[in-house]
Amino acid sequence: MSRLSMTRGTGVLAAVLAAGALLASCSAPADLDAAAASQLQSRVLAVSKDAAGKNYAGALADLDQLGRDLDAAAAAGKLTPARREQISSAMALVRADLSAARTAASASPSPSTAPTPTPTPAPAVAPAVTPTAAPAPLPPAPAKGRSHSKGKGKKDH
C-alpha cells in the first residue's frame, strides 16, 4: 500500500470520526434530541465502516442517508439550527475527503487489474564478422625458358 493511500484513508477515517464526535457531544440537552442523536450516530458508524473498508461509494451513500436523516430531524425540531449547521459542515468535509479518496482509488489501477506488459522479442543479430588479413603476395616465380646466365661456374665471355 502506498504512503499516499494510507494517509488518505487515515484522513477520511479521522474526518468521519470527527463528525461522529460532533454528534456525540451535546453542549445542552435541548441542542439535539437523544433519539435523533442515536439515529444519526448509527449513520456515522456506517459511513466510518465503509470508509475504513475503502468502500468509498458505500460511504458516500451512507453520508447521503445521514443528510436525509439530519434534514428530517431538523424538520421535526429535534435539533437546533446551530447544531444542524455544525453537523452539516462536518459532513461537507467528510464528503470532500471521501470523494477525493474514491477518485484516487479509481485513478490508480489495482495490482490484479493492471495489464501485464508483453516482452518484445529482441531483433536477431547476425554474429559479427571479423575481417581477416589477406596473405602477403608471393614473390614472382622465375620465368621459364632460357636464362641469361651461363650456368653455374661459367663466366660470360
User: CA 127 to CA 139: how far, in whole Å?
Assistant: 36
User: CA 70 to CA 83: how far, in whole Å?
Assistant: 10
User: CA 74 to CA 151: how far, in whole Å?
Assistant: 140
pLDDT < 70 regions, the chain: 1-29, 108-157
What is residue 30's predicted lDDT score, i.e. its pLDDT?
75
User: CA 107 to CA 90: how far, in whole Å?
Assistant: 26
Q: Where are the alpha helices (DSSP H) in the chain?
A: 3-24, 34-52, 56-75, 81-107
CB 56 within 8 A of CB 98: yes
Q: pTM for the whole thing? A: 0.56
Q: Which letter does DSSP use for residue 113 in this model? A: T
For helices 3-24 and 81-107, angle between their N-to-C axes, nearest 10 degrees = 160
Q: Which helix (H) or strand (E) holds 154?
A: none
Calculate the CA 74 to chain-centre distance: 41
What is residue 135's predicted lDDT score, i.e. its pLDDT?
63
What is residue 133's predicted lDDT score, i.e. its pLDDT?
61
CB burial string 9-46: b at 16+ within 10 A, e below: beebbebbeebbebbeeeeeeeebbeebbebbeebbeb
What is residue 116's predicted lDDT score, i.e. its pLDDT?
59
